[in-house]
Amino acid sequence: MKLDEISVRQIKGVSAPKEQELHAFGVHSVADLLDYFPFRYEDYRIRGLAEAKDGEKVTIQGKIMSAATLQRYGKGKSRLSCKVAVDNLLVTAVWFNRHYLQEQLAAGREIVLTGKWEQRRLQMTVSESEFPDRGAVRSGSVQPVYSVGGSITQTWMRKTIHQALLQYGPMIEEILPLELVDKHLLMPRRDAIRCIHNPGDTDEGQAARRRLVYEELFLFQLKLQAYRSLTRNRMDGIAHVVDAESIRSFVKTLPFELTDSQKKVVNEILIDMRQSYCMNRLLQGDVGSGKTVVAAIALFAAYKAGHQGALMVPTEILADQHMRSLQKVFEGVGLEVGLLTGSMTERRRRDVLAGLQMGLIDVIVGTHAIIQEGVNFRSLGLVVTDEQHRFGVNQRSVLRRKGLNPDVLTMTATPIPRTLAITAFGDMDVSTLRERPQGRKAIQTYWVKHNMLERVLGFIRREVDLGRQAYFICPLIEESEKLDVQNAIDMHVQLMQAFPDLKVGLLHGRLSAAEKDEVMRSFADNEAQVLVATTVVEVGVDVPNATLMIVMDAERFGLSQLHQLRGRVGRGGHQSYCVLIADPKSEVGRERMKVMTETDDGFEVSRRDLELRGPGDFFGTKQSGVPDFKLADMSSDFAVLEEARDDAADLTHRENFWTEPALARLHDRLKSDQLFSGDLLD
């Protein structure tokens, strides 16, 4: 019998109703219970009062010197107190609402008190007390604190886990390969489990935690890596047949030379596309690093191989922009580009759907509408998603369920620190665009207070006189779309008054798709010199002639959002500027402005962002794909995560990974995690 096959009912003291309640905590088997780790510890070690600091929670032992006095006041409330001699001091111990203790507090009796120490009054507000003559259980020890509820109390949980360890502790088996236990000098699993529940001495507790954190991160990484090696071996994808020569001559038609970074990344992608496994690659590159053209080359390769391609983007504005730039890029090569968005008329939609089904459309650009019900492809070979973090994580499995198994390229402009990338995307291969196209000047960033608005307007005038254009971004206020729009509308009026001779565009979420298109088009064509906008322009918008980005109330934006906004300028050869208007009251707000003025490197920005926010917050919520770990803490266990990833990669790359008997327990674990059921990680 293995511990995960033995019901918790087998533990002495677990009744049927208690078993039911444990289910609510995800605890079914003995193994589950032993893996139910405390989330913190209470220190009940007895200390001398000399060590105790004012306001601190401490445990002390002494002798009761006087009978207890009880005061009652209103609604069953009470205050019980007595004098206790501790280390030659006479301490007043006070209990609130525990009148029932009065009889036990007999003068002359030894007592152990835990509670908040008030130095000045020599008084303790007692939270827990025990008597050594009745066998003090807690005192002198560090006790685990579990997440409990219902009729399951802390004491019951402690007792039951203690009992489980007595009955089944010896049956706990090692699951990590011994070579890894040796390599990292890890505590054996049996000892670590025992220890995490009874951390007698802190060094041992640390070692136990280190071992279990490693195990957790290693198993997580192993799952991702094993999944990756399985998909690599599955060979049920499309092997795109495309010769280097046709790619080369297509690249020659582009108006610029590819950067070395772009060439390298294109090669990585083409190698994947030629294989019959499914490409699952993340392309990360700072804003303006030229990801779109990389996508275009990959789409061209799919087309040359006789398949269709799709480019998914988060907004209709972007869909429209990409559609137009792809049409331009593909003009001479006879490749048909279609557009599919939610706001299209039913008739046009029907035409596009028919075109896709019959293969008349080679590349479809659109929002998530592309992968909805009723959209059928003749042969979908490649899906590119742009600005991935705006998409849900399970898009890929939607495609799989349609019986499509295209190569997938995910592009993101939010450079992710390596450690977080391997946490969230450990199942992906990562390509990185490190350099920006030549001749780009660093964007100069300034932080000014609101009272400088006049001078900022002067700045707009100067750039427009030079033939350039400016964005003026207004923030989202408390997610209220109404206020948000109002803000932009007010600013629009103000700017039109300031610049009566210029055309000032206005872009916000309330406009219809057609209106948005028209506003963007007139800005792209330099009919409008200034564009007032909400954050709809945040991702992807590309107007190379715009050189000035002004962000109002910049403290309301997060760092990566500010960096994205700034990335809307500096996209041509002209010197560009970003002006952040903010009077931040908070430390974090000021720190953000500082980061923005100090660097325009997206990797550095996200590193500083991570420092400021902490990794828990970094990705936002579920979308990120960063799981909730039981023990591991992403802010302090980075190094372990990297080790775990390397170890897992090393193991899964071995020829005999799936057949090696020494790894049988890992195989079991992967199977019970349903690694083989298909879309687990999508």
CB 142 within 8 A of CB 42: yes
- Which DSSP state fits 78? E
Stretch that binds ligand ADP, among 281-289, 373-381, 595-603, 629-637 (CB under 6 A): 281-289
Dist. CA 660–CA 654, nearest whole Å: 10
Task: Report which of 679, 559, 533, 680 is spatially closest to residue 620, judged by C-alpha positions.
Answer: 559
Please say which residue, 14 or 548, places its beta carbon nearer to ligand ADP: 548
Dist. CA 331–CA 460, nearest whole Å: 36
Whose structure tokens read 């609510």? 24
Answer yes or no whether residue 396 interacts with ligand ADP by CB under 6 A: no
Q: Which residues of 372-410 are buried (b: 16+ CB within 10 A; e: fewer)?
A: eeebebeebbbbbbbbbbbbeeebbebbbeeebbbbbbb
Q: Give 47's contacts (C-beta < 8 A, 6+ positions apart).
A: 58, 59, 60
Q: Return the one option of ligand ADP, Mg ion, none that residue 437 interacts with (CB less than 5 to 8 A, by type).
A: ligand ADP
Dist. CA 611–CA 137, nearest whole Å: 42
Please say which residue, 352 or 596, places its beta carbon nearer to ligand ADP: 596
Shortest approach of ligand ADP to residue 441 CB, angstroms?
A: 13
Please say which residue, 111 or 318, places its beta carbon nearer to ligand ADP: 318
Dist. CA 24–CA 151, nearest whole Å: 12
Figure out which of the listed residues 542, 591, 601, 660 binds ligand ADP, where binding follows CB under 6 A: 542
Whose structure tokens read 């936002």? 620
Please say which residue, 162 or 440, places its beta carbon nearer to ligand ADP: 440
CB 401 within 8 A of CB 382: no
Figure out which of the listed residues 38, 115, 144, 290 binds ligand ADP, where binding follows CB under 6 A: 290
**Interface characters, 422-461, with ligand ADP (x: CB under 6 A):** ---------------x------------------------
Shortest approach of ligand ADP to residue 567 CB, angstroms?
A: 6
Please say which residue, 228 or 571, places its beta carbon nearer to ligand ADP: 571
Burial of 221 (0-12, 13-18, 19+ CB in 10 A): buried
Figure out which of the listed residues 222, 365, 413, 491 binds ligand ADP, where binding follows CB under 6 A: 413
Residue 332: both structure tokens together: 């001479």
Residues numbered 330-369 forming contacts with Mg ion, rule: CB under 5 A:
none
Answer yes or no whether residue 389 interacts with ligand ADP by CB under 6 A: no
Stretch that binds ligand ADP, among 138-146, 266-274, 289-297, 631-639 (CB under 6 A): 289-297
Answer yes or no whether residue 570 interacts with Mg ion by CB under 5 A: no
**Phi, psi values for residue 290, rounded to 5°:** 90, 50
Q: Return the one option of Mg ion, ligand ADP, none that residue 361 interacts with (CB less than 5 to 8 A, by type).
A: none
Dist. CA 310–CA 370, nearest whole Å: 8
Please say which residue, 250 or 447, places its beta carbon nearer to ligand ADP: 250
Shortest approach of ligand ADP to residue 533 CB, angstroms?
A: 17
Answer yes or no whether residue 520 interacts with ligand ADP by CB under 6 A: no
Answer yes or no whether residue 615 interacts with Mg ion by CB under 5 A: no
Shortest approach of ligand ADP to residue 585 CB, angstroms?
A: 32
Stretch that binds Mg ion, among 184-192, 365-373, 538-546, 588-596 (CB under 5 A): 538-546
* Overall residue count recorded for the chain in this entry: 682
Residue with the closest Cβ to ligand ADP? 290
Dist. CA 498–CA 494, nearest whole Å: 6
Answer yes or no whether residue 540 interacts with Mg ion by CB under 5 A: yes
Q: Give 145's contacts (C-beta < 8 A, 6+ positions apart).
A: 38, 39, 40, 41, 42, 154
Figure out which of the listed residues 256, 271, 668, 674 binds ligand ADP, where binding follows CB under 6 A: 256
Q: Give 468's contacts (C-beta < 8 A, 6+ positions apart).
A: 545, 546, 547, 548, 574
Figure out which of the listed residues 223, 291, 304, 368 binds ligand ADP, where binding follows CB under 6 A: 291
Dist. CA 485–CA 158, nearest whole Å: 55
Stretch that binds ligand ADP, among 49-57, 228-236, 251-259, 606-614 (CB under 6 A): 251-259
Stretch that binds ligand ADP, among 67-75, 94-102, 215-223, 282-290 (CB under 6 A): 282-290
- Residues touching ligand ADP: how many (CB under 6 A)? 18
> Which residues sit at the interface with Mg ion, rule CB under 5 A?
540
- The binding site for ligand ADP (CB under 6 A) comprises 256-259, 262, 285, 287-293, 413, 437, 542, 544, 571
